[in-house]
Structure 1
Amino acid sequence: MEELSRQLLNQPKWRMIDQSSLGPLFEAEQSFAYDDTLCEAVGRNMSPATARSWVHHDTIVLGIQDARLPHVEEGIQYLQNQGYRVIIRNSGGLAVVLDEGVLNISLIFPDAEKGIDISRGYEAMWELIKLMLADYGKKIEAREISGSYCPGSYDLSIGGKKFAGISQRRLRNGAAVQIYLCISGSGSKRAQLIKEFYEAGLQGEETRFDYPSIIPDTMASLSELLGVQLTVNDMMMKLLVTLKSLSGRIFSSSLSIDEQLLFEKNLLRMMERNKKIRIGS
């Protein structure tokens, strides 16, 4: 599987869209609209395989199941009272924290005629992160970390503590593999925030869906785990160097005119989805 994952990373060329330093006015609705746009563009051969990096400030991204909490309004109000914007994404998974210490990376591949196996997409992202962090000599595992927020089979951890989670979205012959990397700050404080969100959203009620029981100490940032003060810029440099080593060419670009038109449609869709949760904001 490792060889197949490496093959997926060995693209003839990588297009790079770096949105990691756009600041607090860059909103998460835009990010998810960008990935949908790039999925379609790559799937229609309008664009080569694309890597997009992005950072959002003080934002909680909820999954579709989170929106079904029995007291979701109270949960959202709690997060907003802590100074966070709240949105619901257009893909699976559960609540995650995004802030200036969290780097997000999306890898967008063409989903070929036979299709990219879902596990292969996850493995490719795991392989990329292992290559980026190889100099630190730490074993990076991919397995579900019980007690973390948004738990999944491809939680990335060091010494049993989760620092990243991977998700995927398939759209119009494109596949977007997305990861959030907690680079700096306190992983347990982020987890405590989500724990309190679920407490406010559940208020002890039984639900059909099994929401995670958050244990804050199961999560940490890379800076905490590696004992080195890392920044988003540090990890961006590692990303660019690693992609360059995997491909003959890496180039940066903005959206084309056609892609911009797609983006505007996708952004409108995201804004419509999120209109109803603007509680207290």
Structure 2
Amino acid sequence: MSQIETLLQQENWRFWDQSLSGKSRSALESFAADDLLCHLVGQGQSPATIRTWVHTNTVVLGIQDHRLPFVDDAQNFLRTQGFAPIVRNSGGLAVVLDDGVLNVSIVLSENKQSIDISTGYEVMLEFVKLLFPEAEGKIEAYEIVGSYCPGSYDLSIGGKKFAGISQRRLRQGIAVQVYLCVEGSGSERADLIRQFYEIGVQGEETKFSYPIIKPKVMASLNELLHTNFTVEDIVIRIQQVLQHLSTNVVTQSVTQDEMELYQFYMQRVVDRNKKMLTK
């Protein structure tokens, strides 16, 4: 059995679904939740965990995004379009979250075995493939030039990106995070980010090379697979896949015993975000 198969076929999985409850909350809470889970899983206080989460009309910025020459103008543009900008604590650049985008975090422990960065990405790639058997042989992982938040593990079908993967490592825990554009228009989301960068750069020379967004290279899964999936449909699939991967799946949100630690990470994320956004 390969390391990727071993990491997916855990003896125990914890499942925490925030695909409905998270919509009315700031996405900052999700990054605090993943930090909490990294701590708990990495320190052996929780089994490996999969968390699903959805947030309404948010643009999650990367560290480089807040260094845009006209970042205030760019953020104000997002607000006029009804999107709240925040800065995340993992790598990458700006991505769009809305009701049609499902985020999935797989949180694993490095306590007993080392998990390199590429293995973390491959675990998520394999999990996404398990979720979509109708796309068998079609999902590829390579950088889609012209997409937002481009990277070597952009997930695409027919050259059009529908997902991107990032990682967060803390206290021997690893959170591998993917956003899945399930519903709606991928190109419309990309066009929002195209305008964000145009307003943020305004022709100025920058040390960092920001992506030139080409909206047509991005699409949703429904557009690519000619399906009518809802985010809720995919959450159900995740639960079904977990049942095949493990004989013991426990559905559990944050417990009372974990709440104090969660509040600690929440405050840290909020303080960091405030500092970033105020430059």
TM norm structure 2: 0.96
Instruction: Give SS of 2:60's match.
Output: strand
Query: Hey, what does 2:108 align to over in structure 1?
Result: 109
Paired residues in the alignment total 278
Residues 237-277 of structure 1, C-alpha deviations (whole Å, 9 max, x = no match): 11111111111111101212332111101111111122257
What RMSD over aligned residues (CA atoms) do the two structures have, in Å? 1.4
Q: Which runs of 4+ in 1 moved over 4 A?
A: 276-279
Give the partner amino acid of 1:227.
H
Query: Hey, what does 1:85 align to over in structure 2?
Result: 84
Residues 165-221 of structure 1, C-alpha deviations (whole Å, 9 max, x = no match): 000010001000000000010000000000000001101111111111100000000
CA–CA distance in structure 1, aligned partners of residues 92 and 49 of structure 2: 22
CA–CA distance in structure 2, aligned partners of residues 254 and 95 of structure 1: 28
Residues 107-128 of structure 1, C-alpha deviations (whole Å, 9 max, x = no match): 0001134421111110010001
What is the percent sequence identity of the aligned residues? Answer: 55
**Is the 1:38–1:259 Cα contact (8 Å) retained in structure 2?**
no
- How far 1:4 sits from its partner (Å)? 2.4
Instruction: Give SS of 1:220's match.
Output: coil
Bigger mean CA offset, 64-73 vs 20-29: 20-29
1:182 aligns with 2:190: no
Query: Hey, what does 2:247 align to over in structure 1?
Result: 248
Sort the Cα spacing of 1:114 and 1:246 in 2 relative to 1 into closer, same or farther, 3 A: closer
**Is the 1:138–1:158 Cα contact (8 Å) retained in structure 2?**
no
Bigger mean CA offset, 206-215 vs 18-27: 18-27
Give the partner amino acid of 1:175.
I
Sort the Cα spacing of 1:114 and 1:23 in 2 relative to 1 into closer, same or farther, 3 A: closer
CA–CA distance in structure 2, aligned partners of residues 255 and 69 of structure 1: 36
CA–CA distance in structure 1, aligned partners of residues 2 and 133 of structure 2: 17
CA–CA distance in structure 2, aligned partners of residues 137 and 47 of structure 1: 32
Sort the Cα spacing of 1:120 and 1:49 in 2 relative to 1 into closer, same or farther, 3 A: same
Instruction: Give SS of 1:212's match.
Output: coil
Sort the Cα spacing of 1:114 and 1:10 in 2 relative to 1 into closer, same or farther, 3 A: closer
CA–CA distance in structure 2, aligned partners of residues 3 and 262 of structure 1: 34
Give the partner amino acid of 1:258.
D
Structure 2: segments with no counterpart, 5+ residues: none
Sort the Cα spacing of 1:278 and 1:92 in 2 relative to 1 into closer, same or farther, 3 A: closer
Query: Hey, what does 2:222 align to over in structure 1?
Result: 223
- How far 1:233 sits from its partner (Å)? 0.8
1:241-280 matches, cutoff 5 A:
241-276=240-275
**Is the 1:101–1:183 Cα contact (8 Å) retained in structure 2?**
yes
Query: Hey, what does 1:97 align to over in structure 2?
Result: 96
Sort the Cα spacing of 1:36 and 1:111 in 2 relative to 1 into closer, same or farther, 3 A: same
Sort the Cα spacing of 1:260 and 1:23 in 2 relative to 1 into closer, same or farther, 3 A: closer
Query: Hey, what does 1:134 align to over in structure 2?
Result: 133
Query: Hey, what does 2:197 align to over in structure 1?
Result: 198
Query: Hey, what does 1:4 align to over in structure 2?
Result: 3
CA–CA distance in structure 1, aligned partners of residues 122 and 272 of structure 2: 31
